[in-house]
Chains A and B, each alone.
Chain A
Amino acid sequence: MNLSPDKQREMLRQMLTIRRFEERASADYHAGKIYGVVHCYIGEEAVAVGVCSALETGDQIISTHRGHGHCIAKGADLNRMMAELYGRQGGYCKGKGGSMHIADFGIGMLGANGIVAGGISIVTGAGLAAQMDGNERVAVSFFGDGASNAGPFHECLNIAAAWKLPMLYICENNMYAAQTAAAATHAMPDVAGRAAGYGIPGIVVDGNDIFAVYQAAARAVVRARAGEGPTLIECKTYRWRAHTERVGQPDFRTPGEIESWKAKDPITRLSAQLIAQGSMTDADAKAMDDEVQASIAASVAFAEASPFPTPEQALDDMYAA
């Protein structure tokens, strides 16, 4: 794997951006400035960044209810993201979407989705479009372990395999669907094992090892661009925070389990690696964090300066012209 030091530092920066963005989103949610619900991706950053680092502009992804990480990894604008969480006109969806529905079609981010497994078929359609275009673009579906038990996952894997669609199916197995342990709901421990049923490669990777994720994704991208069809990649990872930021939610996970995964923090891991191999210094790491923090603060300022939608705007964008 020959990733330039620049690219490796960029991967670190993106993971850090996701972490800091969500720390702020969580705080602002609890401060009452962000409404409804926020699902944090903290702890899983290596999956989104590892996969998206293997993509080109023009490749398309779709996300889940836990979508901030995928947005940032695909290159979304923090200002418009934060403004969307704040429910403002300047948000990606003009304040109509919120955390569960951020999209930026311009950068190939086809949307977070409030329905578990809801995005899998949509992005498979983007893969079909890429195949019909013949432009060697790929499409990537991010989804959880919980979503892998839903019908559209199976329907889409079969179709993508049968039609050799240029797809990556990325299962983010964080071991839980809300409060329910995957161990209690999955017939087989590895979601990747299901690939055998569709005659496609199914790969398990350490989802907290960004280079392992990157490598698996890069191989799957080569296969997809060559017209050989989809790959299912299961990234074993863990979310640090509760399922959502809503107050008073049960969380049956043990403190010991949570702590053991915090010890496998993908960000600490990559930054230690970069420092050890001489790609950056402690001071560089600190400077990077300061810059990221500044960009988050700027996004909050942008959001706060953006007006709320006017009531009449509720009727805008009903139908396309």
Chain B
Amino acid sequence: MREITYAQAGVEAVAEEMRADPRIFYMSTDPIMPLVKEFGEKRVKATPIAEAALTGISIGAAGSGYRPIMDWRQVTFSFVAMDQIVNQAAKIHYMFGGQRTFPILYRANVGGGTRLAAQHCQCPYSMFMNLSGLKMFLPSTPYDLKGLLKTAIRDNNPVISFESNRLLASKGPVPEEDYAIPLGVADIKRKGSDVTVVAIAWLVHEALAAAEELAKSGISVEVVDPRTLVPLDAEAIRASVRKTGRLVIADEAGPTAGFSAEVAAVVTEDPATFAGLKAPVRRVCALNVPIPYSPQLEDHVFPDRKRIIAGIRDVLDGARPARSA
């Protein structure tokens, strides 16, 4: 199968859907040139730097029959539009009794590795997960990104596509034929029997590397990639943990009230899964600081395959207390 990058997969998904549906249009303060070329400046709008207005404009256009895509670029820039996201987009369908549908795709890059320091390296998706009314995903491969984006663009609700900065240039197999991946379905990226690692985005690849390394010493690691954050495929995660009896959660965000906390909760609150646990759940997350600039600092703050390996060894040992962070 041909290989394309994560970034190309995103462009392809949007372009294919825009070809199929004239009601889709794209707004960004910095539009993607291949899209402008193909669809023109009317459908791919270069906007003023006014994310608050544009995030709200997307809602009004969606309620009037269009299917807007608003590209926030870095998730960083979505914060000036918090009212439009939190008070408006997330609630408008429910609050008005389901009178209209609001098909909107918001795109946001997240994660570190870019040496861009605190404001441009962040993973705040759990802030959005906490809002009832939005769907969202964070894929780890070009294949998953394209398939999920296509589903999201066809969905009749506001959906946020979080896309990993670290993976933009990474390549992977993507078929030429049309396909879509449903929201809310996890993917087992590697089968194993001793321990489950639930990881997202870049850390899926780090977890796979960790699994490869540990296989040499006879440790069998299962890597579960939920792909979608809301709705979360809790059942796939629980099923894996029931099989292995051990869980490590790897997330590029900090641990506090994060994605990792949610996964730990859905696993431990299920009686059958809880009963099958052979060790405490272990989280491998970023340290709780804004992301610093210097590579020595940034690389220390983010988790990586080494810390995932350490986490796996901890749950296999069972008794060792969780380290801070």
CB-CB under 8 A from B83, the residues of chain A are 115, 118, 152
Q: What separation, in Å, do the CA atoms of A96 and B94 have in the docked complex?
A: 7
- A126 CB contact (under 8 Å) in B47, B64, B99: B64
Interchain residue pairs A-B with the least CB separation, the first 9: A125-B60, A121-B56, A129-B64, A317-B98, A155-B53, A93-B97, A125-B57, A155-B50, A94-B97
CB-CB under 8 A from A127, the residues of chain B are 60
* A124 in contact (CB, < 8 A): yes
Q: What separation, in Å, do the CA atoms of A318 and B54 have in the docked complex?
A: 24
**In whole Å, how far is A23's beta carbon from the nearest beta carbon of chain B?**
26
Q: What separation, in Å, do the CA atoms of A139 and B57 have in the docked complex?
A: 12
Q: What separation, in Å, do the CA atoms of A60 and B60 have in the docked complex?
A: 10
Q: What separation, in Å, do the CA atoms of A101 and B99 have in the docked complex?
A: 12
**In whole Å, how far is A68's beta carbon from the nearest beta carbon of chain B?**
16
A93-B95, A159-B50, A317-B93 given. 14 additional CB < 8 A pairs? A62-B60, A110-B60, A122-B56, A122-B63, A124-B53, A152-B52, A152-B56, A155-B48, A155-B53, A156-B57, A159-B47, A159-B57, A319-B133, A320-B157
Residue of B nearest to A317 (CB): B98
CB-CB under 8 A from A120, the residues of chain B are 53, 56
- CB within 8 Å of B: which A116-149 residues: 118, 120-130, 132-133, 139
- A105 CB contact (under 8 Å) in B47, B50, B100: B100
Q: Is B97's CB under 8 angstroms from A122's CB?
A: no
Q: What separation, in Å, do the CA atoms of A91 and B99 have in the docked complex?
A: 12
| B residues with CB within 8 A of A | 25, 42, 47-48, 50, 52-66, 68, 80, 83-84, 87-88, 92-103, 132-133, 135, 156-157
**In whole Å, how far is B184's beta carbon from the nearest beta carbon of chain A?**
11
CB-CB under 8 A from B59, the residues of chain A are 121-122, 125
* A207 in contact (CB, < 8 A): no
- A162 CB contact (under 8 Å) in B48, B101, B157: B48
Query: Given A93-B95, A105-B96 in contact, is the A159-B61 Cβ separation under 8 Å?
Result: no
Q: What separation, in Å, do the CA atoms of A51 and B137 have in the docked complex?
A: 43
**In whole Å, how far is B52's beta carbon from the nearest beta carbon of chain A?**
5
Q: What separation, in Å, do the CA atoms of A280 and B186 have in the docked complex?
A: 70
CB-CB under 8 A from B52, the residues of chain A are 121, 151-152, 155
CB-CB under 8 A from B60, the residues of chain A are 62, 110, 121-129, 139
CB-CB under 8 A from A129, the residues of chain B are 60-61, 64-66
* A202 in contact (CB, < 8 A): no
CB-CB under 8 A from B48, the residues of chain A are 155, 158-159, 162
Q: Is B97's CB under 8 angstroms from A159's CB?
A: no
**In whole Å, how far is A151's beta carbon from the nearest beta carbon of chain B?**
6
Q: What separation, in Å, do the CA atoms of A12 and B253 have in the docked complex?
A: 59
Q: What separation, in Å, do the CA atoms of A120 and B54 have in the docked complex?
A: 11
CB-CB under 8 A from B101, the residues of chain A are 320
CB-CB under 8 A from A159, the residues of chain B are 47-48, 50, 53-54, 57
Q: What separation, in Å, do the CA atoms of A114 and B157 have in the docked complex?
A: 21
A interface size (C-beta, 8 A)? 47
Q: What separation, in Å, do the CA atoms of A151 and B50 have in the docked complex?
A: 9
Q: What separation, in Å, do the CA atoms of A248 and B47 have in the docked complex?
A: 46
Q: Is A158's CB under 8 angstroms from B50's CB?
A: yes
CB-CB under 8 A from B58, the residues of chain A are 125
* A229 in contact (CB, < 8 A): no
Query: Given A114-B87, A320-B101 in contact, is the A125-B96 Cβ separation under 8 Å?
Result: no
Q: What separation, in Å, do the CA atoms of A96 and B56 have in the docked complex?
A: 21
- CB within 8 Å of B: which A252-290 residues: none
**In whole Å, how far is A310's beta carbon from the nearest beta carbon of chain B?**
14
Query: Given A97-B96, A151-B52, A317-B98 in contact, is the A105-B63 Cβ separation under 8 Å?
Result: yes
Contact with B along A57-92 (1 / 0, CB 8 A): 000101000000000000000000000000000011
* A316 in contact (CB, < 8 A): yes
Chosen A-B contacts, 23 in total, with CB atoms closer than 8 Å, are: A94-B97, A97-B95, A103-B99, A110-B60, A110-B63, A118-B87, A120-B56, A121-B55, A122-B56, A122-B63, A123-B60, A124-B56, A124-B60, A125-B61, A125-B63, A126-B61, A129-B64, A132-B61, A133-B64, A158-B48, A162-B48, A318-B132, A319-B157
CB-CB under 8 A from A320, the residues of chain B are 93, 98, 101-103, 156-157
CB-CB under 8 A from A133, the residues of chain B are 64-65
Q: What separation, in Å, do the CA atoms of A96 and B47 have in the docked complex?
A: 34
Q: Is A111's CB under 8 angstroms from B92's CB?
A: yes
Q: What separation, in Å, do the CA atoms of A321 and B68 have in the docked complex?
A: 18
Q: What separation, in Å, do the CA atoms of A316 and B102 have in the docked complex?
A: 16
- A103 CB contact (under 8 Å) in B42, B57, B96: B96
Residue of B nearest to A102 (CB): B96
Q: What separation, in Å, do the CA atoms of A118 and B85 have in the docked complex?
A: 11
**In whole Å, how far is B97's beta carbon from the nearest beta carbon of chain A?**
4
